[in-house]
Amino acid sequence: MSVKRIYNFNAGPAALPLPVLEEIQASLLDYGGSGMSVTEISHRSKWFDDIINDAIARTKRLMHLADDHRVLFLQGGASLQFCMVPMNFLTDGQTADYVDTGTWSMKAVKEAQILKKNVRVAASSADKNYTYIPKEIPFDPEAAYVHITSNNTIKGTQWQQFPDTGSVPLIADMSSDMMSRPFDVAPFGLIYAGAQKNIGPAGVCMVIIREDLLASVPENLPAMLSYTTYTAKNSMYNTPPCFAVYTVQLVLKWLEETIGGLTKMAAINREKADRLYHYLDSSDFYRPTAMEDSRSMMNVTFRLAGEDLEKRFVEEALANDLGGLKGHRSVGGCRASIYNATPLEAVDALIDFMKLFEAKNG
């Protein structure tokens, strides 16, 4: 049976690699000769042990993690991490620095404030409607940690270089650019990423935590909100989101074995972004919203002359098998999310459509 598939530019849940979907399809009735669906096997079985341990091993290889980094799979998405981070690492009398680059970073600030934690917004790009990433930030050398959002899906900005925080651990929400490029993990005390944008389906959050930070976790936290609960049980204190973890494992396998690692993935992502931004910059019909030195490789945001025209653009694009191009509801406009699984030919098809739409409406 033939299946029609469109080019998927959704911001999350987002595109998954076709070979991953095909492997999932094959495992839905019989996983690995078990006689059970992958959705039916026990999280206490050898089959799932192999899945989660392989996902951990591939994460460590892809990101060149040292032995002192633990890889966890948690529920609650990245949004739960907004409160877990200060609950685990920000004790009374301490201060943490946060960099405000948009909606998700401010949600993290507000969650810490609800907990009556002492947080300081060390820098913000709110003055220019979050169209850039701040530079030369005066971090507090005594801060417990510095929190950033590596890529901002709504405004289409991304840290091109991560800030130097000295000896202060860097904590990052990498939900929308996880595994999109290689980087030095050493300065990071913790990295978290909701999977549904770039490494898997909705339902699981990957957390990478440096072991030295675990010593500061209070003992009186609820079990499900303490990182030590999950490090002690290999993410299986309770039933984990097994199917989501399985899908992440397959995406990591695709990244490692088909793509060839993060350096090669980054080159593909750069080519996709360069092609799309080059066209946008050459046109007076479309207007990119992010400043050039802060543009995201993952989420390309742009506006047209008016909301009615933008609505027609999104509708006609979908009619031409180009889906998910509507901007976030909080800002409007248009957005093409070109995550790892979005192929280069999808970007080329989008550009071809944009040229035709401009010729017809410009």
3-state DSSP assignment of residue 317: helix
Token look-up 């992502």 returns 269
Backbone angles phi, psi at 41, to 5 degrees: -70, 150
3-state secondary structure of 220: coil
CB 172 within 8 A of CB 148: yes
Whether residue 173 lies in the annotated active site: yes
Distance, CA of 242 to CA of 192 (rounded, Å) = 18
The angle at the Cα of 239, spanning 84 to 10, to the nearest 5 degrees, equals 65
Ramachandran angles phi, psi of 65, nearest 5°: -80, 140
Tokens standing for 182? 């290689």
Residues contacting residue 319 through CB under 8 Å, at least 6 positions apart: none
How far apart, in whole angstroms, are the C-alpha atoms of residue 150 and residue 79? 15
Among residues 197, 254, 272, 326, which one is catalytic?
197
278 backbone dihedrals φ, ψ, rounded to 5°? -60, -45
CA 39 distance to own-chain centroid: 24
Alpha-carbon gap, residue 156 to 151, rounded angstroms: 7
Concerning whether 104 is annotated as a catalytic residue, the answer is: yes
Pure H helices in the chain: 18-27, 46-63, 77-89, 103-114, 211-214, 227-232, 242-253, 262-282, 307-319, 344-361
Q: Is 159 a catalytic residue?
A: no
- The structure tokens 């970007």 sit at 347
User: Are 36 and 30 a contacting pair, CB within 8 Å?
Assistant: yes
Residue 25 CB neighbour total at 10 angstroms: 10
Catalytic residue among 47, 104, 159, 254: 104
Catalytic one among 100, 173, 254, 326?
173
Give the residue numbers marked as catalytic. Answer: 104, 173, 197
